[in-house]
Amino acid sequence: RALIRPGGLWTSLDVVERVGSTNSDLVDRAAELGEGAVLVAEEQTSGRGRLDRSWTAPPRSGLFLSVLLKPCVPVARWGWLPLLTGVAAATGLARAAGADFALKWPNDLMVKVGGEERKAGGILAERVGGDGVVIGIGVNVTLREDELPVPQAGSLALANAVSTDRDPLLRALLRSLEDWYGVWRAANGDARASRLQETYAAGCSTLGLTVRAELPGDRSLIGEAVAIDGDGRLVVTTPDGRDHPVGAGDIVHLRP
Query: Which is closer to ligand BTN, CB of 104 or CB of 112?
Result: 104
Nearest distance in Å: CB 186, ligand BTN: 27
Per rule CB under 6 A, is residue 50 in the interface with ligand BTN? Answer: yes
140 binds ligand BTN (CB under 6 A): no
55 binds ligand BTN (CB under 6 A): yes
Task: Provide, rounded to whole angstroms, the least separation between the CB of residue 123 and ligand BTN.
Answer: 6
If you write DSSP's letter for every residue of 53-118 in order, what string do you get?
A: -B----TTSEEEEEEEE---S-GGGTTHHHHHHHHHHHHHHHHHHT---EEETTTEEEEEETTEEE
Q: Pick the binder of ligand BTN from 27, 30, 33, 64 (CB under 6 A).
A: 64
In the complex, least distance from residue 187 CB atom to ligand BTN, rounded to whole angstroms: 26
Q: Which of 9, 10, 36, 48 binds ligand BTN (CB under 6 A)?
A: 48
Of 107 and 194, nearer to ligand BTN (C-beta) is: 107
Residues of this chain, 25-44, that bind ligand BTN according to CB under 6 A: 44
As a whole number of angstroms, the distance between CA 50 and CA 244 comes to 22
Q: Give the residue, chosen from 82, 86, 106, 122, that forms a contact with ligand BTN under the rule CB under 6 A.
A: 122
DSSP strand pairing (12-19 vs 37-44):
parallel
Q: Which is nearer to ligand BTN, 123 or 169 (CB)?
A: 123
Is 86 an interacting residue with respect to ligand BTN (CB under 6 A)? no
Give 156's contacts (C-beta < 8 A, 6+ positions apart). 93, 97, 99, 111, 120, 139, 140, 141, 142, 164, 169
Q: Is 104 in the site for ligand BTN (CB under 6 A)?
A: no
Q: In the complex, which residue's CB is closest to ligand BTN? A: 122
Binding piece for ligand BTN, criterion CB under 6 A, among 90-98, 132-140, 192-200, 234-242: 132-140
**Looking at the chain, which runs of residues are DSSP E strands?**
12-19, 37-44, 62-69, 102-104, 108-113, 116-128, 132-140, 210-215, 219-228, 234-237, 243-246, 251-255
106 binds ligand BTN (CB under 6 A): no
Tell me the C-alpha distance between 95 and 165, whole Å: 13
Nearest to 105 by CA among 232, 223, 242: 232
CB 71 within 8 A of CB 81: yes
Name the site residues for ligand BTN (rule: CB under 6 A): 21-23, 44, 47-50, 53, 55, 64-66, 108, 122-124, 136-138
